Chain A
Amino acid sequence: MPMIEIKDVSKAYGAFQVLRHCTTSVDKGEVVVVCGPSGSGKSTLIKTVNGLEPFQTGNIIVDGVSLADKATDLPKLRARVGMVFQNFELFPHLSIVDNLCLAQQKVLGRDRPAAEAKAHALLARVGLPEQADKFPGQLSGGQQQRVAIARALAMDPIAMLFDEPTSALDPEMVSEVLDVMVALAKEGMTMMVVTHEMGFARKVADRVIFMDKGEIVEDAKKADFFGNTRNPRAQAFLSKILQH
């Protein structure tokens, strides 16, 4: 049974169709990269997976939990699926350690010492052991994004979703964030990653999904995708971003 199963999901804003019959799945321990032109629905698709974006038809099943089911406890599901945003979205009024402890304490009910121990361990793991008492505004973009990854990991997620985690970063900070993500992938984390970093995809992805105009146009094993993608739209997109 796949960890994440997306079955024929469609979504529209009025007459505008954002997602068209999207179907795919992510197995446990699998790393799936989602790419495609801007406005193609990548963010919308990844946010439907933890219920941040509602959808109108189809279904998504995460670790056996159906999102189309009205009775599903969404906060409980979201607590088990980590999400990292393009703009980090750390809570600026809380110190780094409090950013990592808030949901551990309020959602998982961990006590403060346990939450702090976890926070310090994860900060060390993302290479920021000294920053616990600083505030988000005092860190660089790359450091903030690594804290955001640690914050998501503090919930012991069953899967991690990334929505363009490096596209708001200065170029020199991209690799420090990608390194953390590569390490995570190698440890066997189930990951769905919206990114245009094809180097990352080549290194750790199992599959690559290409989206265009709300549709999953190509869903292929990494070797097939980079080897000889059959889809002309995917080919055009690839040749464009690989030039840079």
Chain B
Amino acid sequence: MEDRKRRGHPMKYNWNWGVFWEASPEGTGTYGELLIAGLGWTIVTALCAWILALAIGTTVGVMRTLPSKWANILAACWVELFRNIPILVQLFVWFYVVPELLPKAWGTAIKQMPNAAFVTAVVGLGFATSARVAEQVRAGIQSLPAGQAMAASALGLTLPQAYRHVLLPRAFRVVLPPLTSEFLNLIKNTSVGLTIGLLELTARARSMQEYSAQVFEAFTAATLLYLLLNVVVVSAVRALERRVAIPGQVGT
């Protein structure tokens, strides 16, 4: 408590917004460039994990709505497993435990991957988010009137065709807003990647704070960059929403 008070005392703090243009001791450019590189990793990690989460989540969400009992059970287990374990624990399991469980040669190969932290973060975040995407997709499909699937069948469409051309295009429009929040959550969650050495935005802000001691500037910049990212995503989704809006329909 004493310590924090002393360090945070305004009289002792030297504001220096020019710090972003100073060279960082890591020798890879300025502090500003360091943060931008971090932002880059945050974006790339979030996008890759999102693609994985959408692919798995859509499959699992569809499985939860299929007439097959086994598909249902399997999908429900997937959702419960990945939804109920803290994201940090999942990341540690992928990073520290899974390589040990694999055959020795594979485990070593994984540990020696140059971008092991990135790959692990993508897989860990992607799987964890897939459970949440699956629940949204399931809810979206179940919100459609039962007659739609029946009409598709009555025309001779097979079940996969009915999902592909009728049910999923409608369900995704319904769940676009909640999926957007899931994606925004995923962007924020990429910051746990720093615990396994991923040099994303939060990690970069922390190392800037440690080297330069400009804690306020470092985290103000990080905060603004996260907000900017949020604004970009929200406007992109707005544009998408307008593009896929169905003429003659209010809402969905």
Contact = CB atoms under 8 A, between A and B. Distances in A.
A148 to B, nearest CB: 8
B175 to A, nearest CB: 14
A151 B150 contact: no
Contacts, number: 81
Contacts of A74: 153
A47 B150 CA distance: 10
A213 interface: no
Contact of B147 (A89, A107, A135, A139): A89
Interface in B130-160: 145, 147-148, 150-158
B83 interface: no
A235 to B, nearest CB: 33
Contacts of B248: 92, 134-139
Contact of B157 (A50, A75, A139): A75
Interface residues of B, number: 22
A107 to B, nearest CB: 4
A244 interface: no
Interface stretch (B24-32, B163-171, B180-188): B163-171
A191 interface: no
Contacts of B247: 134-135, 137-138
Contacts of B235: none
Interface string A70-91: 0000111011111101010111
B249 interface: yes
Contacts of A87: 145, 147
Contact of B154 (A76, A83, A106): A83
A79 B145 contact: no
Contact of B170 (A76, A93, A138, A151): A93
A155 B153 CA distance: 13
B161 interface: yes
Instruction: Give the residue among B156, B173, B249 with the most A Cβ atoms within 10 A.
Output: B156
A109 to B, nearest CB: 11
B246 interface: yes
Contact of A106 (B148, B150, B157, B169): B157
A100 B159 CA distance: 19
B136 to A, nearest CB: 18
B143 to A, nearest CB: 13
A155 B157 CA distance: 12
Interface in A35-92: 47, 50, 52, 74-76, 78-83, 85, 87, 89-92
B63 to A, nearest CB: 20
A92 B170 contact: yes
12 contacts: A74-B153, A75-B157, A75-B158, A78-B156, A82-B154, A85-B147, A87-B147, A91-B152, A91-B165, A91-B170, A93-B246, A102-B155
Interface of B: 145, 147-148, 150-158, 161, 165-166, 169-170, 173, 246-249
Interface of A: 47, 50, 52, 74-76, 78-83, 85, 87, 89-93, 102-103, 106-108, 134-139, 151-152, 155
